[in-house]
Every structure is written in C-alpha cells, then in structure tokens.
C-alpha cells in the first residue's frame, strides 16, 4: 500500500480540537448549501430541506462544542470523515501524479528526442574504459563577490 495518503488512527487532542473548529465551518457551509438547495443539493430536497440543513448545522455546532469540552468526543466524527474521504484522496493523488507525468514529463521527453538533445549524455561507447566525466573546476572565493 502507498504512503502517499495515510490515515491518522490515533489523533491527539490538539488535532481533534482543530478538527472541531474546522468542522464547524465546513458543516455550516454544507448546511447553507442544503438550505438553499445549491450544488450537491440542487436535485431538490423538498420538505427534508430544513431537516438536512439543521442536521448538518447541529453536527458542526456539536463538533465545536466537543472541541471546547472534550476533544476526544470528536474522534468518531474525525475517523468517519477520514474513512469517507480516504478513497477519494487515494484515487485523486494517483490521477494527479499521472496527469503530471503524462502531461508534463512525457511531452518534454518527446520534445528532447525530436530535437536530439540528451541532457544526461547517455550514449554507448564500446571503446570507453569509463563513463566518468570530470566535474567543473572549483571557483575561487573571489567569484562569490563578483556575482554578476
């Protein structure tokens, strides 16, 4: 399994306290979306609109209250949301890395091949006893004072 996305199974009180305050804002935002039937809730909740909005707002307020009184009470909410978002993060991290590789690195490599450039000097020479290349000579201390 990859370590690109890792689940924190034993969050400390500081993490749970921070989560509680962030959850307050997040759940209130989701409650606002449900109340106005925007974005995800645009399919129309009908009579359940107020119930869903109050449930999300209540969950946010409860989470903030737990942050003040007993941060450990936020652990089930924290782990539940973490487990819910883990598959999304797992898939998206690999999709983003794939886009970066195939959308950025691969075209640069193809362009270098078309132009005949080889920045690593990867050529095979049967007669060469070594492929070692000497480093550039060291600069003197004076060169640091003459930067331009």
- Give Cβ neighbours of residue 50 (< 8 Å, ≥ 6 apart): 35
Give the pLDDT mean for 23-34: 94
Stronger pLDDT, 134 or 95, i.e. the higher one: 95
CA dist 35 and 27 (Å) reads 12
* pLDDT, position 61: 96
Query: DSSP string covering the chain, please?
Result: --SSS---SS--HHHHHHHHHHHHHHHHHHHHHHHHT-GGGTT--TTHHHHHHHHHHHHHHHHHHHHHH-GGGGHHHHHHHHHHHHHHHHHHHHHHHHHHIIIIIHHHHHHHHHHT--TT-----TT-S----PPPPPPPGGGGT---
Q: What is the pTM of this model?
A: 0.64
Place of tokens 């049967």: 126
Place of tokens 């973490």: 82
CA dist 121 and 130 (Å) reads 13
Q: For residue 8, is pLDDT > 60?
A: yes
* Closest to 22 measured CA to CA, from 60, 68, 56, 75: 60
* Residues 47-85 pLDDT 10s: 888 899 999 999 999 999 999 999 999 999 999 999 999
Give the pLDDT mean for 119-130: 84
């Amino acid at each position: 399994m990859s370590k690109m996305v890792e689940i924190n199974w034993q969050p400390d009180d500081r993490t749970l306290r921070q989560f509680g305050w962030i959850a307050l804002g997040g759940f209130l935002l989701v409650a606002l979306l449900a109340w106005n039937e925007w974005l995800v809730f645009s399919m129309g909740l009908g009579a359940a609109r107020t119930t869903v909005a109050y449930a999300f707002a209540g969950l946010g307020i409860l989470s903030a209250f737990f942050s003040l009184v007993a941060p450990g009470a936020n652990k089930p909410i924290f782990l539940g949301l973490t487990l819910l978002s883990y598959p999304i993060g797992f898939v998206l991290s690999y999709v983003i890395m794939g886009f970066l590789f195939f959308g950025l690195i691969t075209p640069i490599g193809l362009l270098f091949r078309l132009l005949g450039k080889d920045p690593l000097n990867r050529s095979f020479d049967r007669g060469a006893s070594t492929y070692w290349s000497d480093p550039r000579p060291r600069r003197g201390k004076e060169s640091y004072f003459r930067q331009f």
